Amino acid sequence: MITLFHNTMSAGSRTVRLLLTEYEIDVTFQEEQVWERREEFLQMNPAATLPVLVDSGNVIVGAHTICEYLDETRGALKREKRVYPEEPLGRAEMRRLVDWALMKFENEVTRYIVHERVTKRQMPSSVGGGAPDSQALRAARANIKYHLKYFGWLAQTRDWMAGDRMTNADLAVASSLSLLDYLGEIDWSEDAELKDWYARMKSRPAFRPLLADRLRGMPPVSHYVDLDF
């Protein structure tokens, strides 16, 4: 039995969800609000971070570690469906871009927009909830352009983010962009190649659960579920 503790608006959580579906792994999902600091969850992960995977009683913490674990334990059996390259240089480039999406992009853009627009609305004021910080949002939105330009360059010069085949880098970048797309934070008209790449990712069966995600009181923008947006 595998259980994934995740959050709908977590890029790392979404990356793991995509990989689990691409690898056709049966899993039970449990939504977690880390600010609630549930004792049971803290016993599994004292750092109170997501995602957390529990596989037959074994606890694996963090998107990078979980994805590596899933590939090492299940990926080799997937053959042409495997999203981790076989060759070392291919894996190195994939990992570089996963780091970019889930660390650099997260730390400069995604974390702030999601926290200010979503998480603070869900949290009680006693633990930091409240109105969004407009200054933090302006800074994060200013940073979006630089990252989208780079992702767009990758889409223009390669078939997929890390090379000539889809890898976990595509899952990580698409997961990060899907959060911003849900909130209407991306102007897709500025980069046709990036838009086409994202449309390919959205069209994959593994992406359907992400497109079905909904936040209470905050529906996605109208094109979020449109595969031909």
Residue 60: enclosing H or E segment and its boundaries? strand 58-61
pLDDT of 127: 87
> Smallest Cα–Cα separation from 51: which of 78, 32, 72?
32
Would you place residue 228 in the very low, low, confident or very high pLDDT band (cuts 50, 70, 90)? confident
* Neighbour tally for 164: CB within 10 Å: 10
Return all residues near 84 (Cβ < 8 A) that are at least 6 apart.
Answer: 71, 75, 91, 94, 167, 168
Strand pairing of 2-6 and 58-61? unpaired
Tell whether 193 and 101 lie within a shared domain: yes
- In this predicted structure, what is the pLDDT of residue 1? 86
Give the structural domain span for 7.
2-81
Task: Say yes or no: 98 and 64 in one domain.
Answer: no
Question: pTM higher than 0.85 for the full model?
Answer: yes
213: nearest Cα among 4, 13, 67: 13
Q: 129 and 53 share a domain?
A: no
% helix, strand, coil for the chain, step of 5: 60, 10, 30
**Res. 79: pLDDT tops 90:** no
Please tell me the total count of domains within the chain: 2
Domain boundary among 81, 115, 143: 81
